[in-house]
Structure 1
Amino acid sequence: MRSERPEPSELSELSELSELSELSEPGRPYRPSGPAESAVRRRAVLVASVAGAAIVALDGTVLMAAQPSLQRELGATVAQVQWVSTAYLVAVAALLVVCGRLGDRHGHRRMLVLGSLGFGAASAGIVLAPGASWVIGLRALQGVCAAVLQPATLALLRTAYPADRLAGAVAVRTSAIGIASAAGPVIGGALVACLGWRSVFFLNVPLALGTAALALAVRTPPPALARTEGEPGRTPEVPPAPGTRLNLGGAALLATTLALLVAGLVHVPARGWTSVPALLGFAVTAVAAALFVVSERRSTDPIVPGPVARSVPVAASMAMLLVTAAGVFGALFVATFHLQNAAGLDAFTAALHGLPLPLLMVVGAPLTGAALGRLGARRTAASGVVLTVLGIALLSRLGSGWAAAAGFAAVGLGFAAVMVTATGTVVGDAPAGYAGVVGGLKQTAVNTGSTLGVAVAAGLVPAAVIPPAVLSGGPSADGLARASSAIATGPTLLTLAAVAALALVPAALLPTRQLPARQLPAG
């Protein structure tokens, strides 16, 4: 049987074949670049990566401002409005890892271009949508396209930057996500007020086209010889042997498992954790997950390659991201509920109260990049988790202005530290040839964690916030609701702080110092 890794003498032949199969520019094959050209290419890759990540982050935040107007204009039901978000979440969660693996095989620049163009086309379709059903279907298509482009934004950084510079590039990308998240509610509110809800989706069209144009301008190594330039002694990463087929059955099982899991979590607030539909859904999810594991073990080319599945830093980073995201997004859900229902603020003013969080993420991301070189991944991540836990605990005193501001700021700094450390570890620990799949795994952990956090928070809040007197609609119902909300918010946020604190366990498994990405055997 032919070894999956060719002998050194075969590499020149493989290089010639890869150049014939994929040209980085029309009529011009990819050639290893010199130091000056490499620096320019890295900056171009960073701009394309930031643009792709920012457009998805911006879309998620501006949507919140559009939903009430969308419901009124289209005559949509509450369930249909919920599915505008749910269809997107299920689609993107189901396909992130699979699309990342496809990028490893066929080229990340290609995936970023296709995903961006598809995202823009789906957004244009929503602008012209005649009814709520069309919006839901096109939002699902948006989710598919987001799953195509998101892993590529991280994988391109991995193939362009050497290990000692990767954390800085990841920090810039995280800062851009923070800026987009902070600007989203303001931009969305202004667009809806002046031009209507359709303008929110039209905004995606030029941004998506610009991202695709940036990606097309980037020269990248062919996928068959994806490598990190500037790392002396590195051996080119080798793709699956010719003729090896992707584990399509495993891909379908993974997509089914993640779609069922996210859909089940989204419906927990309405159905409850112990309802028959919820329990049945989680049982089916567990069966699908078990079948996926069996399929992966039998496959010669699994969706999650062996070096990735067996990597302790990758697994620890994933677990840390999932648990921390659950605490942070659950806390944001509760804080928003409190500010609008107990404090009586409108949506825009409530968003302004939470502005320190994304702004401090922008500040914290580059600080984390610098701290990683001094403290290493383990201590940096642990510090971020502690800051996040303290911030969520401070939010339990939302009635105090200083405590709320300090809480949002601490969560922003802490979550930035966790995000940058985990992302750098996940993407940097695996070989460049697997950068797409680890990027998909990382984003899946964040998305699943945020959905889990909201489900946990929504399951805790309603039972304590809506007493029988409020349900009866008596004259003091509004006052009782606000008082009850204030009482329920504290314990719920402390519970979510405890959930985030669980991230200290996987953080302890991260490397004590920042190590350069190492060459791992394929398989």
Structure 2
Amino acid sequence: MPSKEALRLFAPVLAATLMPLNSTMVAVAVPDISSDFGHDPALVTQALVTSYLVGAVVLQSPAGKIGDRIGHGRMIVLGQLFLGAGALLGFMAPALAWLILARILMAAGSAALVPSTLALMRQVLAPERRGRAYGTFGALMALSAAVGPLVGGELVRLFGWQSVFAANLPVLVVAVALGSLTGSFTGAAAAGRGAPSRFDWVGTVLLAAGLTALIVGLRPGAAHELVLLVLGGGLLLLFALWERRIADPVIAFSLFRSLHFSAGAVLISVQNLVMYTLIFQVPLLGVALFDLNAEDTGRLLLSLTLAMMITSPIAGRLTDHLGPRRIGVAGSLVALLGLADLALTDLTSSSQLVIPLALLGVGVGLTTPPAQSASMTAASTEAAGMAAGIGSTMRYLGGIIGVAVMSRVLDVHASRTEVISDHHVLLVFFAGALVVGLGCAALLPARPVHKDEVLAGRHTSRSV
């Protein structure tokens, strides 16, 4: 039987799953939006996808910090309000500029929901139940991302592109209703102690500007690419220097002194780098090498996403019983095995990709719950939102970097031999990332985290 805390958490988890859904669902609506507003599809794609991606990445760390200050229950409510307002605006938008604003509002709402949902898991669940909770959450997020194009395609076909935005509203209504029935977290106080200091707006602006410049500069075909990358790096360096001077920073770099937090966060980032890049790379290979259509490549990717969704909850339970290190190392080794199998295929048939992709999905599914559990448990309850925001930001940045590298290496318009050669170069890059991940997995806690807490004499707060 699910615990009372688990039932209460289902409402924010349901709302949080809209983040990956909205990330992938809008892609199928781009042609119709372009036609209605008279804009080039490439421009619409850049505007709607980039605005959402930038908003989701740059706002998660500040949102997690704000949740630590005002309470994550209140942050969940704010996230639902922003997401609902953006969805309603997108449904009624008379021009592309309003759609861009709608996507930014939706990204802001999602950025508030995800770190606070993870922080609530850290704060209200017993230590011996966190692994399975993180595993289930990861599976639901993967499922949401996977079904996005399918759901979006049906909605656009039946009701028009506006329904892609409107579809968020009934989900939010259900989440709010469930929260009312099971008991929300809004009545609880923030986890911090004493009167809060002034919020670090300077650090927030530096972080947001630096990440925005970095993300836009990494995108294929970006104008003034080198300037943006240097600017982004410089702003992030200033951000790091500023944060060391602030009593209550947006990101406390002292968190990275914890080996378990750093190992878990980096492991999630490199695993997402490989997984997210393959989600883009496999369809390109499918067209270039096998002349597959979108439906065929979607089925091919199911071997990756389904394996990850099935494995993740199981890995969470195993983490609670066996400890993060064993499960994280096992997952990293399985992912490397899948990558080796992918490298050995001669790519004469698309069916050769099914088993390697499934092994990679199993590897990622095994690895994410122990990494998430270890990194979140390494942070105090007062810093749970900050820790979740940092982890979510690093997860997205891993995927962004991977896709940027792929776009510069893989030339799908070249000959078959050259495409396969580019593919193998990317596999070497992936192998390096997974080896780094294996090293991080070996640094995770050996014992189940609840046993470490008891041995250390820690008393985990069950209040938010």
TM-score (norm 1): 0.80
The question of whether the paired residues in 2 share the 8 Å contact of 1:97 and 1:437 is answered with yes
1:182 deviates by 3.0
1:182 corresponds in structure 2 to 146
1:243 deviates by 4.9
1:299 corresponds in structure 2 to 246
The question of whether the paired residues in 2 share the 8 Å contact of 1:166 and 1:424 is answered with yes
The question of whether the paired residues in 2 share the 8 Å contact of 1:378 and 1:510 is answered with yes
1:260 deviates by 2.1
1:337 deviates by 0.6
The verdict on how the C-alpha distance between 1:105 and 1:213 changes in structure 2, with shifts beyond 3 A counting, is farther
Q: Percent identity?
A: 29
Match for residue 317 of structure 1 among 258, 264, 276: 264
Distance 1:243 1:384 in 2: 41
2:29 corresponds in structure 1 to 66
Q: Which amino acid aligns with 1:178?
A: A
Greater CA drift, 190-199 or 110-119 = 190-199
- Per-residue CA shift, 1:98-148, capped at 9, x if unaligned? 110110111111111111121122112112222222222221221111111
4+ residue runs over 4 A deviation: 221-226, 517-521
Distance 1:414 1:243 in 2: 42
Secondary structure in 1 aligned to 2:194? coil
Q: Which amino acid aligns with 2:288?
A: N
Q: Which amino acid aligns with 1:349?
A: D
Distance 1:130 1:395 in 2: 47
Q: Which amino acid aligns with 2:328?
A: A
2:102 counterpart of 1:102: no
1:300 deviates by 1.4
1:520 deviates by 9.8
2:441 corresponds in structure 1 to 507
The question of whether the paired residues in 1 share the 8 Å contact of 2:206 and 2:239 is answered with yes
Distance 2:253 2:423 in 1: 44
1:193 deviates by 2.1
Distance 2:406 2:85 in 1: 35
Match for residue 422 of structure 1 among 353, 371, 376: 371
Secondary structure in 1 aligned to 2:447? coil
2:106 counterpart of 1:155: no
Say what the alpha-carbon RMSD is for the aligned residues: 2.5
The verdict on how the C-alpha distance between 1:387 and 1:208 changes in structure 2, with shifts beyond 3 A counting, is same
1:357 corresponds in structure 2 to 304
Distance 2:376 2:13 in 1: 16
Between the two proteins, the alignment pairs up a number of residues equal to 451
Secondary structure in 2 aligned to 1:62? helix
Distance 1:343 1:74 in 2: 34
- Per-residue CA shift, 1:409-439, capped at 9, x if unaligned? 1121111122211211122221112111111
The verdict on how the C-alpha distance between 1:242 and 1:200 changes in structure 2, with shifts beyond 3 A counting, is same
Secondary structure in 2 aligned to 1:299? coil
The verdict on how the C-alpha distance between 1:307 and 1:286 changes in structure 2, with shifts beyond 3 A counting, is closer
Q: Which amino acid aligns with 1:256?
A: A
1:437 corresponds in structure 2 to 386
Distance 2:342 2:386 in 1: 35
The question of whether the paired residues in 1 share the 8 Å contact of 2:140 and 2:309 is answered with yes
Q: Which amino acid aligns with 1:70?
A: I
Match for residue 290 of structure 2 among 326, 338, 343: 343
The verdict on how the C-alpha distance between 1:291 and 1:439 changes in structure 2, with shifts beyond 3 A counting, is same
Secondary structure in 2 aligned to 1:301? coil
1:224 deviates by 4.5
The question of whether the paired residues in 2 share the 8 Å contact of 1:307 and 1:520 is answered with no
Distance 2:83 2:375 in 1: 26
- Per-residue CA shift, 1:162-217, capped at 9, x if unaligned? 11111111111122123223322222222222222221221111112322333455
Unaligned runs of 5+ in 1: 1-35, 227-238, 468-479
Secondary structure in 2 aligned to 1:242? coil
The verdict on how the C-alpha distance between 1:212 and 1:254 changes in structure 2, with shifts beyond 3 A counting, is farther
Secondary structure in 1 aligned to 2:449? coil
2:198 corresponds in structure 1 to 245
1:406 corresponds in structure 2 to 355
2:53 corresponds in structure 1 to 89
Q: Which amino acid aligns with 1:291?
A: L
Match for residue 331 of structure 1 among 278, 283, 301: 278
Unaligned runs of 5+ in 2: none
Distance 2:209 2:302 in 1: 36
TM-score (norm 2): 0.90
- Per-residue CA shift, 1:313-350, capped at 9, x if unaligned? 11111111222211221222111111133322221221
Q: Which amino acid aligns with 2:87?
A: S
